[in-house]
């Protein structure tokens, strides 16, 4: 049966904006745990500390007590915080620790945009800055520039690259130097300075260079440079400034018009950057300049941008005005019209356009996308037979497409939900055979084993569960498989199933983390900057050190730095990038430092206290927080959910009243203890309402009304079947991830 109708739905809100996190008490800068390479062992033995290294180590020890004060200053920048760090600087006036404190004060003033007040502390820092002198010089030069002290800025920044040849700030200093020259009208000198260091290209460098050419009277090169920014870097902040500079040039001289292809490039880049309204405007401006052959493509791009910007009526008008075009262009046109019909809930029009797509472009990727939309909308409407038809058609027409494994799985799963168990068994096995490396294989293994249990075939169930547990150990379904195995009588001998051999083995490569090289000047510099809570600078130095050393210590050390500063969210993201498949790795194959960074236990006293008060597993609460905010106390979502457990102020106010919390206000949700108290109580209420953690977690993400609706619409074998049946992909993956991660917490830390 042919399918018809459309569209996937996005729901939930697991992405949150991130702002500064209150600092935790300082932790010692210990090296990360992990295996020690021979290279690091030898390096630590054979090098004798140089005078520069000894000086930095002395400064590091002397400045250890500065760290909490510096964090407080850079977080709050309150008068009291400034006074505390200044007092430290005065008490250490004769050593490098005092210079670091003055640098922190000066940098704080720069963050405040109070550049005049930055000059004095940075001047105090300069005589004893030692290895941090490049940071002091750059900030001082920048402060002079911003306050109009151009001669002083030029004096400090001129020759920076020669004075500090190893500095990571050379290009930033060169840019500030050129801007000071430019402000003095010395554009020709600025050109000479920038042309020598123009690569790799940076938008801010190009803007300064364009301004220098304009100041020097070379309008041709000025226009070319500024147009380069405007056309090829439209997503940069400098693009708008370049446009303003071009308008100034146009008022004084003739500026050549950009080529049509370059204008098209700008529009395309804006569209890729999801700045759809601007992209649509650029495409519209191109129409009059385009050739008849190119015009349909530009109209199509314009209509797509308008549709993504929510301007469906305007998009439809453009699409309907496109004349007869080649098949692939027409396929994209039909797809866009179908998406407009879908969002307008015009079922008949969507079906008509879907049929047109089938006839006009049966092998087009646009039909592939339209079939996915159709299948998902049927799924959301619980019209499972039509959804099966659409998913099946998608998988059959496009067996090598990116959506094929998912489409095949959804058809198989919905077949089970329709009660056609024999067909579901065959489909699950086919999923494993056709797509053995796909993300849907764990679910196929688990539910095929469940059906074997229902058929009273414990040997088959055991074999599938064991494969699932060993190959996908830390996955959601891996843990469920172990739970099921514990309830099945062990078979006398494990049955062999050739199908299971098709699942590729786990990559057994072990990740190691070397000890930090003890004699690396950049690492010592990074640790000294860390004592000043200058995290961005510290990370920059660590990366520079890693480029020199070529060791594999960087991810764990960077994560440690952020974790010690209370930025658990950034630490988690650093390690996710370093080990993207961490959840598929056995615990011994990843350093302990990675695991503890990926699954931290901050605010553990309050967390366990409020978890216990609400009869909750603290690891489940920790896993929920990890999914919601990654332990960013200041996280605020698009929906205005706040803090660790991402509570809406309205919900929190209601819960605060239940626990008799007096004088509650929404700002208190940024306080970890209060957020944990109210969040744990709210989650407990969800558990009490729905009776199982799976339902409660789904309600926490998608809302209790939706979960009640899903419960009322169908009967489920158990909560696990409910989870796999959740129609919103985000919510389904959210629930599975939290339960999976709670299991990892238990494996790592044992009984709470």
* Coil, strand or helix at 697: helix
Widest pairwise Cα distance in the chain: 91
CA 70 – CA 98 distance, rounded (Å):
12
Question: What does the pLDDT read at residue 621?
Answer: 98
* Coil, strand or helix at 647: strand
Q: For residues 62 and 97, is the Cβ–Cβ distance under 8 A?
A: yes
Whether the CA torsion 629, 633, 635, 641 is positive or negative: it is positive
CA 171 – CA 225 distance, rounded (Å):
19
Q: Supply the residues annotated as catalytic.
A: 628
Question: What does the pLDDT read at residue 2?
Answer: 53
Specify the CATH class of 511-598 in words. Answer: mainly alpha
Question: What does the pLDDT read at residue 44?
Answer: 40
DSSP 389-416: HHHHHHHHH-TTSTTHHHHHHHHHHHHH
CA 452 – CA 475 distance, rounded (Å):
21
Nearest Cα neighbor of 639 from 169, 22, 10, 6 is 10
CA 178 – CA 161 distance, rounded (Å):
13
Least confident of 12-26, 397-411, 412-426, 600-614: 12-26
Each residue's pLDDT tens digit, 7-62: 333 333 333 333 333 333 333 333 333 333 444 434 444 455 789 999 999 999 99
Give the start-to-end residue ranges of the domains of the chain: 51-259, 265-445, 446-503, 511-598, 604-749
Q: For residues 299 and 337, is the Cβ–Cβ distance under 8 A?
A: no
Element (H, E) at 618: helix 618-628
Beta strands (DSSP E) in 568-656 are 636-637
Each residue's pLDDT tens digit, 681-710: 999 999 999 999 999 999 999 999 999 999
User: What is the percent of the chain where pLDDT is above 70?
Assistant: 93
pLDDT at 177 over 70: yes
Beta strands (DSSP E) in 302-400 are none
Element (H, E) at 17: strand 16-17
Nearest Cα neighbor of 307 from 285, 332, 330 is 332
Record the tokens describing residue 597, joined without a space. Answer: 């960074």
Question: What does the pLDDT read at residue 3?
Answer: 60
Question: What does the pLDDT read at residue 45?
Answer: 43
Record the tokens describing residue 77, joined without a space. Answer: 């920048």
Each residue's pLDDT tens digit, 348-394: 899 999 999 999 999 999 999 999 999 999 999 999 999 999 999 99
Number of C-alpha atoms within 13 angstroms, CB side, residue 468?
Answer: 30
Each residue's pLDDT tens digit, 466-475: 999 999 989 9
Q: Which CATH architecture has domain 265-445?
A: Alpha Horseshoe (1.25)
pLDDT at 434 over 60: yes
Each residue's pLDDT tens digit, 482-525: 999 999 987 777 788 999 999 999 877 788 888 899 889 999 99
Q: How confident is the model at residue 549 (pLDDT cuts 50, 70, 90)?
A: confident
Question: What does the pLDDT read at residue 23?
Answer: 35
Is the bond preceding 200 in cis, omega lying within 30 degrees of 0?
A: yes
Instruction: Evaluate whether 265-445 and 511-598 have a shared fold.
Output: yes
Q: For residues 120 and 143, is the Cβ–Cβ distance under 8 A?
A: no
Each residue's pLDDT tens digit, 261-297: 999 999 999 999 999 999 999 999 999 899 998 999 9
Helices 170-183, 150-157: crossing angle, 10 deg rounding: 150
CA 374 – CA 484 distance, rounded (Å):
36
Question: What does the pLDDT read at residue 196?
Answer: 85
Average pLDDT, the chain: 92
Q: Which CATH architecture has domain 604-749?
A: Orthogonal Bundle (1.10)
Q: How confident is the model at residue 578 (pLDDT cuts 50, 70, 90)?
A: very high
DSSP 526-552: HHHHHHTT-HHHHHHHHHHHHHHH--S
Question: What does the pLDDT read at residue 37?
Answer: 40
**Which residue in this structure is represented by tokens 């993956």?**
733
Give the mean model confidence (pLDDT) for residues 114-122.
Answer: 98
Q: For residues 249 and 219, is the Cβ–Cβ distance under 8 A?
A: yes
Which residues are CB-neighbours of 22 under 8 A, at least 6 positions away?
A: 75, 566, 633, 634
Question: What does the pLDDT read at residue 489?
Answer: 84
Nearest Cα neighbor of 409 from 729, 9, 6 is 729
DSSP 219-280: HHHHHHHHHHHHHH-TTSHHHHHHHHHHHHHHHHSPPPPPPHHHHHHHHHHHHHTT-HHHHH
- Domain 51-259 = CATH 3.40.50.1100: no
pTM for the model: 0.88
* Coil, strand or helix at 475: coil
Q: How many CB atoms lie within 10 A of CB 691?
A: 11
Record the tokens describing residue 259, joined without a space. Answer: 């080529």
């Amino acid at each position: 049966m042919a399918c018809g109708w459309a569209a996937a739905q996005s729901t939930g809100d697991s992405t949150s904006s991130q702002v500064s996190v209150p600092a935790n008490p300082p932790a010692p800068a210990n090296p990360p745990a992990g295996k020690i390479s021979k290279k690091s062992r030898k390096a630590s033995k054979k090098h004798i500390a140089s005078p520069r290294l000894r000086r930095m180590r002395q400064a590091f020890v002397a400045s250890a007590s500065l760290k909490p004060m510096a964090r407080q200053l850079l977080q709050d920048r309150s008068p009291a915080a400034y006074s505390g760090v200044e007092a430290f600087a005065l008490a250490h006036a004769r050593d490098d620790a005092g210079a670091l404190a003055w640098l922190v004060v000066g940098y704080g003033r720069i963050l405040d945009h109070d550049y005049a007040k930055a000059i004095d502390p940075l001047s105090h820092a300069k005589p004893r800055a030692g290895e941090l002198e490049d940071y002091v010089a750059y900030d001082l030069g920048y402060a002079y520039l911003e306050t109009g002290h151009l001669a002083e800025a030029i004096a400090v920044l001129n020759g920076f690259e020669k004075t500090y040849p190893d500095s990571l700030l050379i290009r930033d200093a060169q840019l500030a130097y050129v801007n000071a020259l430019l402000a003095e009208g010395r554009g020709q000198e600025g050109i000479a300075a920038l042309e020598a260091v123009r690569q790799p290209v940076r938008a801010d460098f190009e803007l300064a260079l364009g301004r220098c050419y304009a100041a020097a009277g070379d309008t041709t090169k000025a226009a070319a440079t500024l147009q380069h920014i405007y056309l090829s870097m439209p997503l940069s902040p400098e693009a708008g400034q370049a446009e303003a500079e071009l308008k100034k040039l146009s008022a004084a001289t003739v500026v050549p018009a950009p080529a049509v292809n370059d204008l098209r490039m700008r529009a395309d880049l804006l569209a890729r950057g999801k700045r759809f309204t601007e992209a649509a405007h650029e495409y519209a401006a191109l129409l009059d300049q385009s050739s008849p052959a190119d015009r349909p493509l530009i109209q199509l791009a314009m209509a797509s941008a308008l549709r993504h910007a929510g301007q469906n009526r305007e998009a439809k008008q453009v699409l309907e005005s496109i004349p007869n075009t080649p098949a692939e262009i027409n396929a994209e046109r039909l797809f866009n019209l179908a998406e407009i019909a879908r969002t307008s809930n015009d079922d008949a029009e969507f079906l008509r356009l879907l049929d047109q797509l089938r006839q006009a472009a049966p092998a087009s990727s646009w039909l592939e996308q339209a079939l996915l939309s159709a299948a998902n909308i049927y799924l959301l409407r619980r019209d499972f037979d039509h959804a099966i038809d659409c998913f099946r058609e998608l998988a059959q027409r496009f067996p090598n497409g990116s959506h094929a494994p998912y489409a095949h799985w959804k058809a198989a799963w919905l077949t089970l939900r329709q009660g056609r168990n024999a067909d579901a068994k065959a489909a699950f096995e086919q999923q494993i055979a056709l797509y053995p490396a796909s993300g849907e294989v764990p679910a196929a293994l688990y539910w095929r084993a469940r059906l074997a249990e229902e058929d009273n075939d414990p040997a088959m169930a055991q074999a599938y569960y064991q494969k699932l547990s060993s190959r996908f150990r830390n996955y959601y379904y891996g843990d469920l498989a172990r739970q099921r195995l514990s309830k099945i009588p062990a078979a006398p001998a494990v049955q062999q199933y050739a199908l299971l051999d098709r699942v590729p083995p786990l990559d057994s490569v072990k990740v190691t983390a070397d000890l930090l090289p003890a004699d690396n000047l950049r690492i010592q510099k990074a640790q000294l900057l860390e004592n000043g809570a200058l995290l961005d600078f510290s990370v920059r130095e660590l990366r520079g050190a890693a480029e020199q050393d070529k060791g594999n210590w960087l991810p764990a050390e960077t994560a440690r730095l952020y974790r010690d500063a209370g930025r658990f969210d950034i630490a988690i993201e650093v390690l996710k990038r370093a080990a993207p498949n961490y959840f598929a790795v056995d615990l011994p194959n990843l350093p302990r430092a990675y695991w503890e960074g990926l699954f931290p236990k901050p605010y553990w006293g309050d967390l366990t206290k409020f978890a216990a008060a609400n009869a909750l597993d603290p690891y489940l609460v920790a896993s929920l927080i990890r999914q919601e905010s990654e332990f960013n106390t200041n996280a605020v979502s698009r929906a205005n959910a706040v803090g660790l457990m991402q509570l809406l102020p309205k919900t929190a106010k209601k819960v605060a009243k239940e626990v008799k919390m007096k004088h509650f206000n929404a700002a208190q949700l940024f306080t970890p203890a209060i957020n944990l108290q109210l969040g744990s109580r709210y989650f407990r209420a969800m558990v009490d309402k729905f009776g199982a953690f799976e339902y409660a977690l789904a309600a926490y993400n998608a809302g209790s009304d939706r979960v009640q609706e899903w419960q009322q619409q169908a009967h489920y074998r158990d909560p696990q079947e409910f989870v796999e049946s959740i129609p919103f992909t985000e919510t389904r993956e959210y629930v599975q991830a939290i339960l999976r991660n709670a299991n990892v917490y238990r494996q790592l830390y044992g009984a709470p």
